[in-house]
Amino acid sequence: MASSSKIAVRELPLFPLPEVVLFPTRPLPLHVFEFRYRIMMNTILEGDRRFGVLMFDPVQGTIANIGCCAEIVHHQKLPDDRIKMFTLGQQRFRVLEYVREKPYRVGLVEWIEDEIPTKDLYPLATEVEQLLRDVVHLSAKLTEQKIELPEDLPDLPTELSYWVASNLYGVPHEQQALLELQDTALRLERESEILTSTRNHLAARTVLKDTFNQKL
């Protein structure tokens, strides 16, 4: 059973972003220039500084039903009314219904959380972290660039799962699927599969590169 201690329903201004998936604890810098969203952000800044981010699929023309709440941490209003802001992901939510569409979307949402784990997640988190380090090492070797993981990589399994998911580039639908999971173990297991596949691909390319260089 999912924890119900923080599950509540509230109205939330919604900001659909093309192929962007925000995760809890992760940063999202924004540059707001469209008129209706400037109105939205100015209204939010007078309140609790929170709004919902939902992935918009420009090909299908659809908006995801599950997203992540963002809180404005810093903002800068520019002379032409554009707004630069730094936001941070908070709770995830599910849209129950839209209560308003104009000038911007407002939804009735419920908060969602991961289920309470039934097993120790640290061995799985350690496996994912090692795979991540392997991928970074191989990427650095292939590109001959210095690539390093941050020193403050999360050590809690759930936060690590969000960090990994948010740093998967070019696969927004995969990220959305990871966001929608309410089981940390399942999220880490899927990330382990993705990173293993990536590591194997990079390892094969590294062997080819080394073989080629030896023949020169």
4 in a structural domain: no
pLDDT higher at 214 or 145: 145
Q: Is the pLDDT of residue 2 over 60?
A: no
Domain stop point among 112, 142, 168: 112
CB neighbours of 153 closer than 8 A, spacing ≥ 6? 129, 160, 163
Residue 77 and residue 14 in one domain: yes
* Residue 208's pLDDT band (cuts 50, 70, 90): confident
Domain stop point among 89, 112, 135: 112
Is residue 89 within 8 A of residue 73, CB to CB? The reply is no
Mean pLDDT of 164-177: 95
Residue 104 and residue 133 in one domain: no
Residue 32 and residue 84 in one domain: yes
Please count the structural domains in the chain. Answer: 2
Distance between CA atoms of residues 29 and 63, nearest Å: 20
Residue 108 and residue 23 in one domain: yes
Residue 73 and residue 101 in one domain: yes
We report the CATH number of the domain holding residue 13 as 2.30.130.40
Residue 103 and residue 20 in one domain: yes
90 in a structural domain: yes
pLDDT tens digit sequence for 58-109: 999 999 999 999 999 999 999 888 999 999 999 999 999 999 999 999 999 9
Residue 88 and residue 155 in one domain: no
Residue 131 and residue 88 in one domain: no
Residue 102 and residue 173 in one domain: no
Question: How high is the pLDDT of residue 13?
Answer: 97
Question: How high is the pLDDT of residue 146?
Answer: 85
Question: How high is the pLDDT of residue 164?
Answer: 97
Residue 139 and residue 102 in one domain: no
149 in a structural domain: yes
Host domain of residue 48: 9-112
Residue 15 and residue 108 in one domain: yes
Domain stop point among 83, 112, 141: 112
2 in a structural domain: no
19 in a structural domain: yes
181 in a structural domain: yes
Mean pLDDT of 182-198: 97
99 in a structural domain: yes
Question: How high is the pLDDT of residue 210?
Answer: 62
Distance between CA atoms of residues 52 and 62, nearest Å: 16
Distance between CA atoms of residues 38 and 31, nearest Å: 10
3 in a structural domain: no
Residue 126 and residue 104 in one domain: no
pLDDT tens digit sequence for 96-146: 999 999 999 999 999 999 999 999 999 999 999 999 999 999 999 888 888
- Among 76, 71, 117, 75, smallest CA distance to 93 is for 71
Question: How high is the pLDDT of residue 206?
Answer: 82
Distance between CA atoms of residues 59 and 54, nearest Å: 15
